[in-house]
Amino acid sequence: MIFIAIDVRELAPPEPMTAILQALSTLPKGDGLRVHHSRQPFPLYEQLTSAGWEYECEKKAEDYFLISIYRQQEKPT
């Protein structure tokens, strides 16, 4: 699976969510999205699973999170 990366760490809310939504809406089938974020986007998590997406979050530092998002049926191996 190829991950397309976006960095939203320098954006103020609600711009990170807008950028993520735009990236997901154009994400090619079979690809995933990797988001470099300054915090955990909890409101995004709320709807991801019910909208058919899977996500993983890795904490890199106090203010640096790496969030991988992909379609539920396309879990990377």
Partner 1 sequence: MSLAGLSFNALPPIRLPFRFFITAPIFILLCTGLIAYSGPDLWLGRWQPPMLALVHGFTLGFLTMVMLGALLQLLPVIAGIGIPHPELLAPLTHGLLSVGTLMLLWGFLQFHSSFILAAMWLIAIGLGIYISALFWVLIKHISQGDSLLGFRLAISSLLVVVLLGLALLGRYLGIEWIPPSKHLTNVHALWGLVGWAGILIIAVSYQVIPMFHVAPSFPLIVRRFLTPLIFIGLLLSIALPSYSLPALSLLQGLFALVLLLVIHRRKRKVPDTSIRYWQLGASALLLTSVLFFIPEGIWNEYLDIDKTLLLTALFMYLYLMSIIEGMLLKILPFLSYTHLQQRCLIDFTAMQYIPNMHEFFDKRHGQWLFYSHVISGLILIWVLFQPSYYFIFAIALVLESTGLLVIMLKTMKLYFAVDKKISQAAKDRVEPPTASFKNT
Under the rule (CB under 8 A), what is the footprint of partner 1?
10-14, 17-18, 21-22, 24-25, 38-40, 42-51, 53-59, 62-63
- Structural tokens at position 65: 């999170």
Compute the least distance from the CB of residue 47 to partner 1, in Å.
4
Question: What's the closest the beta carbon of residue 7 comes to partner 1, in angstroms?
Answer: 13
Phi and psi at residue 72, to the nearest 5°: -60, -35
Q: Which is nearer to partner 1, 30 or 43 (CB)?
A: 43
- Give whichever of 5 and 49 is closer to partner 1, judged by the CB atom: 49
Q: Cis omega before residue 14 (within 30°)?
A: yes
Cβ 33 vs Cβ 4: under 8 Å? yes
